[in-house]
Amino acid sequence: MAAKIRKGDKVVVLTGRDKGRTGEVIAVHPSENRALVRGVNMVKRHQRQTAQQEGGIISKEAPIQLSNIAIADPKDGKPTRVGFKIMNDGRKIRVARRSGVEIDG
């Protein structure tokens, strides 16, 4: 089945501590039904010092459930569901259900 949310997509958080915030998808883990979104679901982690990186408390993104995020409509930026449309040349593209605009050309 084709992925509804992919790396590089602009998404809106629907529920939780970061509700309403938008960000770009950094990585998707389909087997775990989770995605990493830039600047969303930030957590603090203690990190030991290494030769390349200094130690201390760092902030980084934690994975968020796919059910808690939705694609931002390309037209107005509000959350939308994703549909699929098959083009004349046989390609399958994603379409925003809210406005009918193509998500990826």
Neighbours of 68 (CB within 10 A): 18
pTM score: 0.85
State how far the Cα of 40 lies from the Cα of 53, in Å rounded to an integer: 23
pLDDT at 3: 87
Q: pLDDT for 26-62, tens place per residue?
A: 999 999 999 999 999 999 999 999 999 899 999 999 9
State how far the Cα of 95 lies from the Cα of 75, in Å rounded to an integer: 12
pLDDT at 1: 60
State how far the Cα of 9 lies from the Cα of 44, in Å rounded to an integer: 25
- DSSP for 82-104 reads EEEEE-TTS-EEEEETTT--BS-
State how far the Cα of 55 lies from the Cα of 73, in Å rounded to an integer: 40
Sign of CA dihedral 91, 96, 101, 104: negative
- Is 10 strand, coil or helix? strand
Q: pLDDT for 60-87, tens place per residue?
A: 999 999 999 999 999 999 999 999 999 9
Residue keyed to tokens 């775990």: 32
